[in-house]
């Protein structure tokens, strides 16, 4: 093999960047607030647990529900607003 062939083979076998899945700390609705940007977005919806107590993070009139009390309080500390139990 020539040096050129070996280098091309090495480049083709070099690992590419991979996406690593993570839970993202989604709430009961499959949504979460991006901690870096403050943006709220949803992924695959989760099936709500019947009778479970959830909290809504309310900020600037927008309700984001499905959080635990601790997570909701952390969102208030980081982004303002208030928590409401539902």
Residues whose CB falls within 8 Å of the CB of residue 26, separated by 6 or more in sequence, listed in order: 32, 42, 43, 46
State the pLDDT at residue 7.
74
DSSP β-bridge partners for residue 9: none
Name the pairing type of β-strands 82-85 and 55-59: antiparallel
Note whether 42 and 51 are within 8 A (CB).
no
- Positive or negative: CA dihedral 58, 59, 60, 64: negative
Note whether 67 and 27 are within 8 A (CB).
yes
State the pLDDT at residue 80.
92
| pLDDT, tens digit only, all 86 positions of the chain | 688 887 777 767 666 555 555 555 777 777 888 878 778 888 776 666 677 788 888 988 888 888 888 888 988 998 999 999 88
* pTM for this entry: 0.48
Give the count of alpha carbons within 13 A of 50, CB side only.
0
Site of tokens 């309310």: 58
State the pLDDT at residue 33.
82
């Amino acid at each position: 093999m020539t040096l050129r062939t070996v280098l091309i083979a090495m480049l083709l076998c070099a690992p590419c960047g991979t996406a690593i899945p993570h839970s993202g700390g989604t709430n009961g609705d499959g949504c979460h607030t991006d901690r870096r940007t403050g943006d709220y977005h949803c992924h695959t919806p989760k099936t709500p647990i019947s009778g479970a107590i959830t909290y809504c993070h309310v900020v600037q009139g927008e309700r984001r529900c499905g959080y635990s009390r601790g997570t909701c309080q952390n969102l208030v500390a980081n982004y303002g607003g208030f928590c409401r139990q539902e």
